[in-house]
């Protein structure tokens, strides 16, 4: 079938081969909204201020939801919710963005928009994106954990076009004559296993490995001989980092030119740079929101692991804590049950080859059975968890004397 709305107030279902009308469904005003077909449901807006849900098979009305303003653009839907924006025509009308229960048609939540919404929404992971006539792109939490925008992006003209997702990149066109490409950098509070880990999160784990290993060395020095201490499991660590991002302390002062103090990863970037754990790019940037590749991520953690297992790191740490009389070792051991597989897709002359091969011999690299590391692949939260847990299994902090 072909489903199309009309200025005569009706929605038509046509046979795709013959053009014959199969059914007609009535609304109360012209239909400019493009229908959304999902399963056996058809969602469409009308200038009568209602969003309609019709049965695809016969055009019968399942429900309708009053939104008070024109529903000009297409709605979008996931398994539980329909998302739609509205256009105010009269002064007493208020444009809104709406979360609507897919089963009942009831408005579950609503955000008052500052101007008309001609853009159709787009789902991007746990975000739903929509443009506005005020020139901004709005990102909302798809699961309604908050109804305020998670973030906004300002252009210099109306945003009437619908956002488009291409891989890890968001494309949006504006009436200012530009097309904008935004990298995926979702707020940490809505990350899932499939979320791409940005470079600032790589810095956060490097800081944790460096800082926590030092803390464990001091704890071991004050404890019993022979007791083994281990790193924090990833789930607890992630909760800790998320809490720090949501409740930042004093803003950092020593930052690359492309990292503002308000950036969620600013404190981690400052730490790894001032401690000499990581470096930025030759142009003086760190590119904190860029996706981290597996080459970058694993080699960064490998360099910090080499750092913290050096005896002079432990000596200095214990001296600063006034427990220099104890003898403590930070050991990186072979991970049990992980026989090393030779790396087959890391060129011998690659900049990261030395550190990666060193880690691989200890079973610390996530590789498949054929030894493929896939170093150019962007790191997801799941990948970060796997890499951290391997390191956490390997690192042991022990007082030996």
> Which tens digit of pLDDT belongs to each residue from 80-124?
999 999 999 988 899 999 999 999 999 999 999 999 999 999 998
Is the confidence at residue 49, as pLDDT, over 90? Answer: yes
Q: In this structure, are 226 and 324 located in the same domain? A: yes
Nearest-angstrom CA–CA distance, 174 and 51: 26
pLDDT for the residue 401: 85
Mean pLDDT of the chain: 93
Specify burial of residue 372 (Cβ count, 10 A radius: 0-12, 13-18, 19+): middle
Domain assignment present for residue 189? The answer is: no
Query: Considering 184, 209, 225, which residue would you say is the last residue of a domain?
Result: 184
Q: Is the pLDDT of residue 167 over 80?
A: no
Q: Cα(339)–Cα(356) distance, rounded to whole angstroms?
A: 15
35 and 104, same domain (yes or no): yes
Q: What is the mean pLDDT of residues 152-167?
A: 90
- Sequence-separated (6 or more) residues with CB below 8 Å from residue 373: 294, 298, 343, 345, 346, 356, 360, 365, 366, 367
Does residue 257 lie in a domain region?
yes
Contact status, residue 89 vs residue 105, Cβ threshold 8 Å: no
High-pLDDT (> 70) share of the chain, %: 99
**Residue 9 is part of a domain; what is its CATH number?**
2.130.10.10
pLDDT tens-place string over residues 373-399: 999 999 999 999 999 999 999 999 999
Write down which residue in 159, 184, 209 finishes a domain: 184
Question: At 185, is the pLDDT very low, low, confident or very high (cuts 50, 70, 90)?
Answer: low
Domain check: are 349 and 377 in the same one? yes
Residue 207 shares a structural domain with residue 161: no
Q: Where are the beta strands (DSSP E) in 225-307?
A: 228-229
What pLDDT shows up at residue 80? 95
Query: pLDDT tens, 233-244?
Result: 999 999 999 999
- Mind giving me the DSSP string for 148-176? S-SEEEE-SS---SPPEEETTEEEEE-TT
Nearest to 306 by CA among 234, 364, 348: 364
**Residues 127, 140 contacting (CB under 8 angstroms):** yes
- Judged by DSSP in three states, 26 sits in strand
Q: State the average pLDDT over residues 201-227.
A: 95
Give the pLDDT score at 184: 58
pLDDT range class, residue 219, cuts 50, 70, 90: very high
Rounded distance between C-alpha atoms, residue 255 and residue 286, angstroms: 9
Task: Over range 183-205, report the average pLDDT.
Answer: 85
108 domain residue, yes or no: yes
194 lies in a domain?
A: no
Domain boundary pick from 184, 217, 236: 184
Range of the domain at 245: 199-399
- Counted domains in the chain: 2
pLDDT digits (tens, 9 = 90+) for 246-279: 888 888 988 998 888 888 899 999 999 999 999 9
**Cut 0.85: pTM above it:** no
Cα–Cα distance measured from residue 11 to residue 338, given in angstroms and rounded to the nearest whole number: 61
Same domain, 243 and 308: yes
2-5: strand order across its sheet: 2-5, 10-14, 21-26
Report d(CA 147, CA 111) in Å as an integer: 6
Residues 256 and 341 in one domain: yes
- 209 and 328 belong to one structural domain: yes
> What is the C-alpha separation between 396 and 228, in angstroms, rounded?
6
């Amino acid at each position: 079938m072909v489903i199309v709305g009309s200025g005569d107030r009706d929605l038509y279902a046509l046979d795709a081969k013959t053009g014959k009308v199969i059914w007609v469904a009535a609304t109360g005003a012209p239909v400019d909204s493009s229908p959304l077909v999902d399963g056996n449901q058809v969602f469409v807006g009308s200038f009568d201020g209602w969003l309609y849900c019709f049965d695809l098979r016969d055009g019968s009305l399942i429900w309708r939801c009053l939104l008070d303003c024109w529903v000009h653009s297409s709605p979008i839907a996931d398994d539980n919710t329909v998302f739609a924006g509205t256009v105010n025509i009269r002064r007493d009308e208020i444009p809104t963005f709406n979360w609507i229960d897919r089963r009942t048609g009831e408005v579950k939540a609503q955000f008052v928009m500052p101007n008309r919404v001609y853009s159709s929404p787009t789902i991007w992971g746990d975000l739903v994106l929509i443009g506005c006539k005020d020139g901004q792109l709005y990102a909302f939490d798809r699961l309604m954990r908050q109804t305020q925008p998670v973030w906004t992006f300002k252009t210099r003209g109306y945003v009437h076009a619908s956002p488009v997702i291409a891989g890890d990149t968001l494309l949006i066109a504006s009436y200012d004559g530009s097309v904008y490409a935004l990298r995926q950098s979702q707020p940490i509070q809505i990350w899932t296993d499939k979320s791409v880990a940005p470079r600032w999160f790589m810095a956060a784990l490097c800081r944790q490995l460096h800082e926590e290993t030092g803390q464990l060395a001091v704890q071991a020095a004050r404890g019993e001989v022979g007791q083994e201490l281990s790193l924090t499991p990833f789930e607890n660590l992630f909760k800790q980092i998320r809490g720090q991002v949501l409740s930042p302390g004093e803003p950092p002062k020593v930052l690359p030119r492309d990292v503002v103090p308000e950036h969620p990863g600013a404190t981690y970037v400052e730490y790894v740079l001032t401690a000499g754990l990581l470096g930025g790019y030759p142009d003086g940037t760190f590119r904190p929101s860029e996706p981290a590749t597996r080459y970058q991520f694993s080699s960064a953690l490998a360099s910090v692991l080499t750092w913290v297992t050096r005896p002079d790191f432990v000596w200095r740490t214990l001296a600063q804590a006034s427990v220099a009389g104890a003898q403590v070792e930070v050991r990186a051991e072979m991970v049990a049950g992980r026989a090393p597989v030779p790396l087959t897709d890391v060129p011998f002359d690659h900049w990261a080859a030395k550190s990666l091969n060193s880690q691989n011999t200890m079973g610390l690299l996530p590789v498949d059975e054929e030894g493929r590391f896939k170093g150019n692949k962007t790191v997801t939260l799941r990948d970060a968890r796997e890499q951290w847990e391997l390191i956490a299994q390997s690192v042991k902090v022990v007082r030996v004397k």
